[in-house]
Structure 1
C-alpha cells in the first residue's frame, strides 16, 4: 500500500522468561496485541483493565490464538518462547483514584517483580464529564491515574535491577495541543483538544521522569502507535461526531489504517527491543526514535509546571516517602 509503517522492524527475537509486565487496557486493540506478543516472548503479563468479563474473554482469545500460532509458525509474527501464555487479570479503573490505588496495593501484595510498565489505556470523545474524584475524565484516564500508578510502582521497578522500562503510549494528537496554565484539564474545550493535551502531558512526563530517574536503570519512553483501525474513537460509550465516524471509516476503507498488531509494534519495540536498554527519554514513531513537532513537549519550565500541578492534584495520595523513590538509590 506504500504506507510508511510497512517498514517497521519485526518483533525482536528476545526471551522474556522470568520477566513481569503490566499492560493497562490490555483487553482490546493495541493493548491486546501488546500483551499477547509480550506473553508469547515468555513474560508474565498482568492484563490491567476495568471489566473482568472482557479481560477473561480477551485472555481466552490470546490463548487460543497462541495455540494456533504454535501449531503453525506461518501464522505467528513472533519467535514464540512461551509454551503456555502466563496472563493474569487485575482490576484497574483509571477513572477512579481508589481503583488505581487498590491495584497498586494488590500488585505489591503479590510480591512479583516488575520489569516493564506499559501505560496504554486511553480514551477520547468522552464528552464533558468529571470523574467521582472531581477531575476531567480524559485528563484522569489518559494521564493523571497513569502518573499516580507509575509513581507508586517505582520501588518495584527499581528492584528489578536494571533495564526496567516505563512506556507511555501517547499519540501524534500531541502536535496540535495548546497550553493553558489556568485550564490544564481542558474543561469546556473541544474533544480533540482534551485528548491532545493529555497526550502532550504524557510526553512531557516522560522527560521529567527520565531526568529524575537518571542513574536508576529505568528507561522512560513515549510513542505514537499510528492510526489503528480499532482506534479509541470507535469504542462504545464515546460521543464521536458523525463526521469523525465518517473520517475513521474512510481511512479504514482506503487501507490507510493499521491493524492492531501493526499499531502495537512501536509499543512492543519500546518495551522489549535490547537496542533501547540503557536509553531513556525517547519518543518513537514507526518503531524508531523521531523528533517532536510541538515545542511545548520539550519546554522544561512547562514540564516542571505540569509535574507540580500533577502532584498537587494527587496530594492526598502521594506522600513524601513516595517522592523519595525519585532520589534514593
Structure 2
C-alpha cells in the first residue's frame, strides 16, 4: 500500500510518465486480514467487512497458490483446493447480501487460468489429492469457471454479473527466487519468457481483470470468460457441462455444510 501511494504521488507530479490517470489526489485503500487457507479467517473477514457498513460493487477473487506442496489445511482440505477455490466460494456466498444492496451492475470476478484446459474431471477425487502440482492448480482454475456458470444461473435477475478470466502469463512475485517450492527448470523457463517479452508485467497482467470488473459494455451481462481483455470461447467440454457444474456445486456445499445455512442460500434467489 505504501508503494502504491508513493507511485501514485509520483504519477500525479509527472502525469506524462503515467500509464493511467487517476483523478483522486490520494488513493483510498485499506488492508484487511484474510487467510484463504483457513475457514475461520474467511468467516472473520466476512463479519469484519460487513461490520464496516461499506458498499461492495466488485468482488475480485484473485488470490491463489501454485506451489503449495502436498499439504492439507487445518480444515482438512487439499490446500490448493481450499485457497484457490473453496474459500472464494464461501466468501462470495456470504457477501452476496452486500453486493445486492450496493446497487445495480455489481460484479463477481473469478480469476482463473488457461491451465483449466490441461486437466480432466474426476468425481472420485475432486480435490486432486496425490496429483502433481499443476493438476492440483489447473483443477481449481477449472472449478472457478464452472462456479461462474452455476452462480450466474442462480443469480439471474439479481443484477449481479459473474465473470471469469485468464490474465495471461504474468511475471509476478509467485515466481521470485525466494519461493523455494519452485524448481530450477521452472525458474529458468519463467526467466526466459520474461527476457523475450512473452510474459506480462503486473500492470498488463491486471488489464483483463479490470475490463471484466468495470468496463460498462459488460453491465447487465453474466457468465462471460475473458482472455486478452475480451470475452472468449472456452476450450473445455468439462467447464461447460451442466451436470458436472451441479455436481461440483453440491460437493462444495457439502464441504461447507457447517458454514452455509439455508438463509445464506436464499440470497441466491431473493431480489
Give the TM-score category using the shorter length.
Answer: over 0.9
Please state how far the C-alpha of 1:232 moved relative to its aligned partner. 2.9
Deviations 1:1-26 (A, max 9, x none): xxxxxxxxxxxxxxxxxxxxxxxxxx
Query: Is 1:227 aligned with 2:162?
Result: no
Report the Cα distance in structure 1 between the residues aligned to 2:202 and 2:212, rounded to whole angstroms: 16
Counterpart of 2:206 in structure 1 is: 264
Unmatched tracts of structure 1, length 5 or more:
1-58
**1:192 match:** 134
Q: CA deviation at 1:235?
A: 7.2
Distance across 1 between alignment mates of 2:152 and 2:266: 15
Q: Output aligned runs, 1:117-136, within 5 Å.
A: 117-136=59-78
| 1:161-180 deviation digits (Å, cap 9, x = unpaired) | 21000000000000111111
Note the C-alpha offset of 1:87. 0.2
CA shift for structure 1 position 240: 1.8
Q: Do residues 105 (structure 1) and 47 (structure 2) align?
A: yes
2:258 counterpart of 1:316: yes
The alpha-carbon deviation at position 103 of structure 1 amounts to 0.1
CA deviations 1:216-237 (Å, max 9, x no partner) are 1101000000001116344745
Distance 1:238 1:274 in 2: 41
Count of residue pairs brought into register by the alignment: 271
Matched residue, 1:92: 34
Q: CA offsets per residue over residues 236-268 of structure 1, 9 Å max, x none?
A: 455222221221111112211111000000001
Change (3 A) 1:282 1:231: farther
What is the distance in 2 between the residues matched to 1:306 and 1:67? 45
CA contact (8 A) 2:158 2:269 kept: no
Shift of 1:79: 2.8
Kept after mapping to 1: 8 A contact 2:146/2:245: yes
Aligned to 2:153, the other structure's residue is in SS state: helix
Mapping of 1:173-322 within 5 angstroms?
Answer: 173-230=115-172, 232-234=174-176, 236-237=178-179, 239-322=181-264
Cα distance change on mapping 1:235 and 1:321 into 2, 3 Å: farther
Q: Which runs of 5+ in 2 are unaligned?
A: none
In structure 1, the residue corresponding to 2:239 is in which secondary structure?
Answer: helix
TM-score after normalising by structure 2? 0.98
How do 1:59-78 residues align onto structure 2 when only pairs under 5 Å count?
A: 59-78=1-20
Q: CA deviation at 1:289?
A: 0.4
Q: Secondary structure at the match of 1:121?
A: coil
Indicate if the aligned counterparts of 1:226 and 1:286 stay in contact, CA closer than 8 A. Answer: yes
Shift of 1:199: 0.2
Q: TM-score, normalised by structure 1?
A: 0.81
Matched residue SS, 1:103: helix
